[in-house]
Copies of this chain bind each other. A is one copy, B any other.
Amino acid sequence: MIDIEHLRHINAGPAQKARERYRIGSIEPTSGVAPGFTQANMIVLPRDWAFDFLLYAQRNPKACPVLDVSDPGSHATLLAPGADLRSDLPLYRIWRDGRLAEETADATAAWAEYPDLVSFLIGCSFTFETPMAEAGIEIRHITDKSNVPMYLTNRPCRPAGRLHGNMVVSMRPIQASRVADAVTISGRFPAVHGAPIHVGTPEAIGIKDLAAPEFGDPVRIEPGEVPVFWACGVTPQAAVMASRVPFAITHAPGHMFITDIPDSAYHV
């Protein structure tokens, strides 16, 4: 992993352009957008919940690898100087008492409800899709221009304070002959979920129907392909629901924050 202090000279034009589009209202899933720049899940909580969440993330690092945490009341991040976390994601979800209250392209109004919100940016598996594609592994949801399918599993996360919930996973169908390569390549990126948590047998982790993901879109599974499951940064949203968190702002699944940090920074 490279210290982001060393990355100030990187030209992050494609990432900045994408954020500008989202700031003025464009909405799209971000898989395949600004390739080579790290994308992040986001969850924003009142300061009173910040320790519980940071501990939840520490105890569940495969699902919740933290890339940056803002100071209370700030909407800035070191990962993209000049970005505004209130408006630079394509789509947000506002949560009240553990329920989805609203989806919006601009969270500025919701953000103003609390003076001390803390933003957590969490690694996203889109980061290792670029090197997987470069290795000739087809990423089906990119081919088909859809959102990655995500499933709520039966695997409980390790609780922290008032937070508990099950792990959410993303799924990519991979040809059996390339599963080992997909494991190896993603395993080099532990800060963005790393290697899969499960290969094959969806029913063993509580997934009854691959065609009915809880988040995102279903994808084609071709003959000879195995469903491969990675821990997913939508896991905090499952915790918000299960734990009835009073207030939270998150990204909408698949609609990520695009940072200025090159994917290679998270390669070990």
Main secondary structure of the interface of A (DSSP, over half): mixed
Q: Please report which residues of chain A, range 40-66, place their CB below 8 angstroms from some CB of chain B when the two chains form the complex.
A: 50-51, 54-55, 58-59, 61-62, 66
Binds B, one of A11-19, A135-143, A186-194: A186-194
A260 to B3, CA, bound (A): 30
A182 in the interface, Cβ–Cβ < 8 Å?
no
Q: Does the CB pair B62–A66 fall under 8 Å?
A: no
Q: Does the CB pair A268–B188 fall under 8 Å?
A: yes
Number of copies: 2
When distances are taken between beta carbons in the complex, the residues of chain B under 8 Å from A187 are 268
When distances are taken between beta carbons in the complex, the residues of chain B under 8 Å from A3 are 62, 197
When distances are taken between beta carbons in the complex, the residues of chain B under 8 Å from A234 are none
A105 in the interface, Cβ–Cβ < 8 Å?
no
Q: Within the complex, which residue of B1, B55, B58 is in contact with A190, where a contact is CB–CB below 8 Å?
A: B1
- Complex: chain B residue closest to A161, CB-CB: B71
A1 to B187, CA, bound (A): 9
- Complex: chain B residue closest to A66, CB-CB: B58
Q: Could you mark each residue 224-258 of chain A with 1 if its beta carbon is under 8 Å from any beta carbon of chain B, else 0? A: 00000000000000000000000000000000000
